[in-house]
Amino acid sequence: MYPGAIAAVTPDKPAVIMAGSGQVVTYRELDEESNRLAHLFRAAGLRPGDHVAFMLANHPLFLAVAWAAHRAGLYYTPISSRLQADELAYIISNCGARVFISSADLAAVAASATAGTPGVELRLMLGGEAEGFTSYEQAVAEHPATPIEDECTGADMLYSSGTTGRPKGVKVPATHGPLEEPGMLLRLIQGLFAPSADSVYLSPAPLYHAAPLRYCMSFQRLGATVVVMERFDPERYLAAVEQYAVTHSQLVPTMFIKMLKLPQEVRDKYDVSSLRYAIHAAAPCPVPVKEQMMEWWGPIVHEYYAGTEGNGFLYAGPDDWLAHKGTVGRSLLGVVHICDENGDDLPPGEHGTIYFENGGRFEYHGDPDKTRSAQDPQGRGWTTLGDIGHLDEDGFLYLTDRRSYMIISGGVNIYPQEAENVLSVHPKVADVAVFGVPDEEMGEQVKAVVEPVSMAEAGPGLEAELIAYCREHLAHYKCPRSVDFRAELPRHPTGKLYKRLLKDEYWPAKR
């Protein structure tokens, strides 16, 4: 299915509801808007395999723009609305976009960035004007609301968050097949989470990220209603679940933590009994956090481990997780291998780089070196997301950390995720990052940077309390030797931490 087929049956059904404003986009409007824009792409000379990019916040027409590119057989790159002009210009140029779309609230950075991107042939501005841009509304109004003659399936080409360096464009093969063909992700979603036309899917994260974009479009293929939060707020999330009788939602662990730290009377205020599937991914969830969410919401919390690259997919349902606490799942797509530095398989229980065999194909656009770096050293075609972990005897995977985050102190490997998991559940901690900083004797020492619940408590007393708390739960060498405090950590709205930005402050020679 796709929006056109849904619109033919239930044209007035909400396809998108903006949780904050209440604005509704019906399936008829979604279909007609994406058709007009698809015609505009063809009129601009774009053919299947060409590329478009757009930078929008969680806008009511975000998904219409994505569907227009998808049904025109194009590669489409949604770009973070938080980027600065140089970062934006890099992605627009790197992906080879011929059309770029933005909105009036982002006009300044959009105009500045595209001034240096001569490959862009058409620039469209939603809801306003900017130098060098054509009015989106006027441009699409000139085209018919019926489908283009050569509809075919496109594909997203999404960029990594840039948490460890320059963003990478992840390019997966576009089939250019019929729109009705369900992809692998939709088949997985249908098999695991039982969505239907009666489902209501709540998306609290930015739509330019892989999971929110792909899950929203997958649910719309089935005729479900997608509720989009303009930005995540823990209490507003609970209110949206109650107001719209949400059945499915996808979150990240930091969202769980923020909701759990709401006052009990606030948590009890909202009815979340309509939720049947609370899905989470993107980052490992501390065991105590997930246990508390299960106690609150019941056994409806489902987890998966995958990446934008689509080279593997692991899943842990509530029962599996309760029997293997801390796991991110067992593989449903791709054979998992845990390998040492030479690419040799390691036995269960030993930590190494996670590789997928027979997973989905991908490349890092325009960067063969990065593509090769994601492949196993023995040339067997296995690929990695750069994570370290181990398997248990039952084939369940446990994440240790990102390979690039590992601390080497006195020759000992330390994975900061362990200390982060412990400190994140301390009642005085709102957010935490742990990483290595220079140490003349040991090479590196463990540092924690904490966003406290109250900055008024930040200081030597809380520092000593947090170090002692960590040492109650972990070996001392894994715990921070010092703690700094910040009013806010540089965390991506999808839950990923810009740890590189913090580390750079402590490693001046590496700037």
Q: What are phi and psi of 203, to 5 degrees?
A: -115, 110
Terminal-to-terminal C-alpha distance of the chain:
49
Residue 407: beta bridge partners? Answer: 414
Please identify which residue in the block is written with the tokens 């739960």: 473
Level-2 CATH architecture, domain 408-510: 2-Layer Sandwich (3.30)
Angle between helices 107-114 and 85-95 (to 10 degrees): 50
| 510 pLDDT higher than 50 | no
Range among 126-130, 216-220, 359-363, 421-425 rated most confident: 216-220
Q: In the numeric block, which tokens belong to residue 125?
A: 């501005």
- Distance CA(140)–CA(122), nearest Å, equals 13
Question: What's the whole-number mean pLDDT along residues 129-151?
Answer: 95
SS3 category, 123? strand
SS3 154: coil
- Mean pLDDT taken over the chain: 91
Least confident of 56-65, 418-427, 462-471: 418-427
Mean local confidence (pLDDT), 163-179: 78
List pLDDT tens digits, range 225-234: 999 999 999 9
Residue 25: which of 6, 12, 44, 39 has the closest Cα? 12
Token representation of residue 254: 């930091």
At residue 440, does pLDDT exceed 80? no
pLDDT tens, 61-92?
999 999 999 999 999 999 988 888 888 999 99
The crossing angle, in degrees rounded to 10, of helices 62-71 and 27-43 is: 50
Strand ranges for 229-362 from DSSP E:
248-251, 277-280, 301-306, 313-316, 330-333, 335-339, 352-357
Helices 253-260 and 287-297 cross at an angle (nearest 10°) of 60
Contact (CB, 8 A) for 398 and 392? yes
Specify the CATH number of the domain 309-405: 2.30.38.10
SS3 413: strand
Highest mean pLDDT among 50-59, 84-93, 109-118: 50-59
Per-residue pLDDT tens over the stretch 314-333: 999 999 999 999 999 999 99
How many other CB atoms sit within 10 Å of the CB of residue 86?
11
Say yes or no to pLDDT of 363 above 80: yes
**The pair of three-digit structure tokens given for residue 410, joined into one six-digit string:** 């006195």
- In this prediction, residue 321 carries a pLDDT of 96
Spell out the domain ranges in the chain. Answer: 29-178, 182-301, 309-405, 408-510
3-class SS letters over 158-201? EECCCCCCCCCEEECCCCCCCCCCCCHHHHHHHHHHCCCCCCEE
CATH architecture of 182-301: 3-Layer(aba) Sandwich (3.40)
CB-CB contact of 365 with 377 (8 Å): no
Give CA–CA dist 73/375, Å, rounded. Answer: 28
pLDDT (0 to 100) of residue 493 = 64
Which of 96-105, 116-125, 474-483 is most confident? 96-105
Tell the CATH topology of 29-178: Rossmann fold (3.40.50)
> Do the first three CATH levels of 309-405 and 408-510 match, i.e. the same topology?
no
